[in-house]
Structure 1
């Protein structure tokens, strides 16, 4: 699956079956369900989930909490737009 396919999946009622929890979090976020996205990000302890978690708190906005999660992910806080960060995260997760 690539980014256009992932975006197209947003018309469905649920995320793609093979989607990881961080990818599901981005899917729910794109559907406008921040709480469900946050639940998915919290359910995974990996670095990519921490990065998606950071993005979600940046979007909230809760910059202090976002910085904590960027640090947990071992990444610098994002400076791109939220839309650009979402696309970059989705692309990275889809390539993994």
Structure 2
């Protein structure tokens, strides 16, 4: 059986529309990768200020892409 990383679990829940579960999984995880996913989730939520805070913590800027494109890019990154 294949175990998904916390990052892919988060993206899976986000992908099926379970924002709360996705956020609960990643919100207390350390590191830049977790901060990036946290940023994405707040972007999905529509909280751009909070999203930008988490993008900065991840050492990245908010992408100039749709949410769907960003989700696909993140899945590819964590596969």
Fold conserved (TM > 0.5)?
A: yes
The equivalent of 2:14 in structure 1 is: 29
Q: Which runs of 5+ in 1 are unaligned?
A: 1-15
Aligned Cα root-mean-square deviation (Å): 1.4
C-alpha displacement of 1:56: 0.5
Greater C-alpha radius of gyration: 1
* Counterparts of residues 2-81 of structure 1 (less than 5 Å): 17-81=2-66
* TM-score, normalised relative to structure 1: 0.77
Is 1:93 the counterpart of 2:70? The answer is no
* Matches of 1:78 and 1:91, distance apart in 2: 15
Number of corresponding residues: 79
Q: Say whether the 8 Å CA contact 1:22–1:44 is kept in structure 2.
A: no
* Matches of 1:17 and 1:34, distance apart in 2: 23
* Matches of 1:18 and 1:79, distance apart in 2: 31
Q: Say whether the 8 Å CA contact 1:21–1:43 is kept in structure 2.
A: no
Q: Which runs of 5+ in 2 are unaligned?
A: none
